Amino acid sequence: MRILLTVVLVATGVLAGAAIPAVSGFVRGLLTSAGLPPAVFTYAAAPVPEASEKPPAGEAAHAEGDGHDHGKPAAKSEGRARGEHAHSEAEGEEGHVKMTAEQVENQDIRVAKAEGGTLYRHIVVPGTITPDADRIARVPARVVGTVAEMRKRLGDAVKKDEVVAVLDSREVADAKSDYLTASVKAELEKTNFDRQQALWDKRISAESAFLNAKAVYAEAALRQDLARQKLSALGLNAAEVAKSAKQDESTPNASSLRQYELRSPLTGRVVERKVDVGAKVGSEGDPSDVYTVADLSNVWIELSVSTADLAKVKEGANVTVTPSQEGGERHDRGKVIFVSPLLNQETRSARVVVALPNKDMAWRPGTYVTAEVEVGQDRVPVRVPKAALQTVEGKRIVFVRTDEGFEKREVGLGRSDDDTFEITSGVKPGEKIAVANTFLLKAELGKSEADHAH
């Protein structure tokens, strides 16, 4: 009976040890107290080593041969350690692009120092090119007459005081005749006065004769002076009239008495021709001028600025002008020369005039343009060109030059103008950054991070 009980206990202990390794030690104690040797159950209930214990050599060899992962804790730990070390080294390379100085030069990646500067604020206003009002003039017909010659065609260049047309005028002929007659009369009376004065000085003639000659001469001189002033009012020169009269004496068939020359008041181009040869001018209902001459080497831009922006616009402000038509690439700079103190009651806007140089005559009056008017300046400690900025994972970055290449640097942006951004954080003054072809660096950075991910 005792032997049967012992066998049952042995079987129960073996099964319990296999099923519940944690209680196998307790079972072995019971079996030992029953007088059974430990060898009976040692192989059937091999204890699982604790994490801190090293398994026996035989068990380690058995574990390597069974093909299960639970037999390779040391190898797995070592591999994990190596992987973590390699990963940490790769993380140290993230955000960097290795590039030699020769590669930088070959790829035309320009580097410059981040420095402070001025941001220029603008407003954009449409405008129209017009002639400069100080550089446009009409050639007036100051006298009543008929057009005898038109010496300039539309678009011709003219110089100041150049003769552009000739009129045939009876009014001019009368004025010239009056002057020439008065001049001859004054000259004769002066001769008589000089003779009477000489006789009076010698007490040869009577005093009354001397005084009478003096009075007549004074009257003749006054008439000559009045005739000269009349010529001057017509734009004629008395000396030239007298010279022409003498020339006419030698060529009686080519009288210039009725001719009246019209001269250009400034250097420029003929932009308008209003009459033809044979047309009457000067009378009521007739054209009052024959040409319009303009100097288009400088033009004006007429802007209409709203009341919301008017207070920002100052005389002397710089203005950048571009054509309004699509594809216009021309950019020129002018200055505000006039800001009207009066508002247009209908549009509630004010007239602003910009002076624009036009040496090559490319800006034609009547052209619609877009004007960027400078309305403010802001000094900032650090600014960078817009070409220096790239976007990576939704963040704005620049590439800072390092000894081995470039480092990705996230930056904070502040105010901006047409060309630059203010940097509020991420870059200090004096640091060298890439400012051209930075998209190449972004592409290299993407490759590096993709390789790291794999």
Query: What is the residue range of 224's domain?
Result: 170-257
In the chain, how many domains are there? Answer: 3
Residue 263 domain flag: no
Q: Which of these, 435, 403, 453, 387, lies nearest to 96 by C-alpha position?
A: 403
Domain final residue pick, 257, 284, 310: 257
Q: How far apart are the C-alpha atoms of 138 and 292, rounded to whole Å? A: 4
Question: What are the backbone dihedrals phi and psi of residue 38, each rounded to the nearest 5 degrees, phi first?
Answer: -65, -25
Look at residue 4 and tell me whether its pLDDT is greater than 60.
no
Same domain for 55 and 105? no
CA gyration radius, the chain: 54
CATH of the domain at 420: 2.40.420.20
Residue 206 domain flag: yes
The pLDDT tens digits of the residues spanning 77-93 come to 444 434 333 333 333 35
Q: Which two tokens stand for residue 424?
A: 């509020």
How high is the pLDDT of residue 248?
72
Q: Which two tokens stand for residue 64?
A: 């390597």
Same domain for 111 and 59? no
Least confident range from 58-62, 170-174, 242-246, 414-418: namely 58-62
How high is the pLDDT of residue 139?
93
Residue 83 domain flag: no
The pLDDT tens digits of the residues spanning 369-397 come to 999 999 888 888 999 999 999 998 899 99
Q: Is the pTM of this model over 0.75?
A: no
Q: Which two tokens stand for residue 48?
A: 């699982």
Q: Using an 8 Å Cβ cutoff, are 413 and 396 in contact?
A: yes
Compute the mean pLDDT over every residue in the chain, rounded to the nearest whole number: 79
Q: Which two tokens stand for residue 433?
A: 């950054």
Same domain for 53 and 105? no
Domain final residue pick, 257, 284, 313: 257
Q: Which two tokens stand for residue 211?
A: 């005084």
Q: How far apart are the C-alpha atoms of 403 and 99, rounded to whole Å? A: 9
Q: How far apart are the C-alpha atoms of 334 and 229, rounded to whole Å? A: 44
Same domain for 188 and 237? yes
Look at residue 51 and tell me whether its pLDDT is greater than 60.
no
Average pLDDT over residues 317-335: 83
